[in-house]
A and B are shown apart, each in its own frame.
Chain A
Amino acid sequence: GNSVTQMEGPVTLSEEAFLTINCTYTATGYPSLFWYVQYPGEGLQLLLKATKADDKGSNKGFEATYRKETTSFHLEKGSVQVSDSAVYFCALRVFSGGYNKLIFGAGTRLAVHP
Chain B
Amino acid sequence: KAGVTQTPRYLIKTRGQQVTLSCSPISGHRSVSWYQQTPGQGLQFLFEYFSETQRNKGNFPGRFSGRQFSNSRSEMNVSTLELGDSALYLCASSVSGEVTGELFFGEGSRLTVL
Q: Contacts A32-B100, A44-B90 hold; do A101 and B45 have CB atoms under 8 A apart?
A: yes
Chain A at the B interface: mostly helix, strand, loop or mixed?
A: strand
Q: Is the CB of A106 within 8 A of B42?
A: yes
> Quick one: CB contact mask for A31-44 with B, threshold 8 Å, 1 for yes?
11010100001111
**B56, B90, B97, B99: the one within 8 Å of A94 (CB):** B99
Contact count band on B: 20 to 34
Q: In the complex, what residue of chain A is closest to B46 when comparing beta carbons?
A: A101
Given A94-B99, A101-B58: A45 and B42 within 8 A (CB)? no
Cross-interface CB contact of A102 among B4, B33, B106, B108, cutoff 8 Å: B33
In chain A, positions 20-74 with a C-beta closer than 8 Å to chain B are: 31-32, 34, 36, 41-46, 49, 51
The residue on B at minimum CB distance from A93 is B99
In the complex, whether A89 has a CB less than 8 A from a CB of chain B is: yes
- With an 8 Å Cβ cutoff, the count of chain A residues facing the other chain is 25
* Residues in B whose Cβ lies below 8 Å from that of A105: 42
- Do B48 and A43 touch across chains, with their CB atoms under 8 A apart? no
User: Which residue of chain A is the closest to B58 with respect to CB atoms?
Assistant: A101
Do residues A100 and B56 form an inter-chain contact, with CB atoms below 8 A? yes
Give Cα A34 to B100, complex, Å: 9
Closest-by-CB residue of B relative to A94 is B99
Residues of A with C-beta under 8 A to B97: 100
Contacts of B90 in A (CB 8 A): 43-44
In Å, the complex CA distance between A41 and B106 comes to: 11
Closest chain A residue, CB of each to CB of B103: A102
Q: Output the least CB separation between B29 and chain A (Å).
A: 14
A residues in contact with B55, CB < 8 Å: 99
Given the known interface contacts A93-B99, A100-B97, A100-B99, the answer about A43 and B43 at a Cβ–Cβ threshold of 8 Å is no
Q: Which chain A residues lie closer than 8 Å to B98 at the CB level?
A: 100
Q: Which 9 A-B pairs have the closest CB atoms?
A: A43-B105, A104-B43, A44-B105, A51-B100, A99-B56, A43-B107, A32-B100, A106-B42, A46-B102
Q: A: which residues have CB within 8 A of B?
A: 31-32, 34, 36, 41-46, 49, 51, 89, 93-95, 99-107
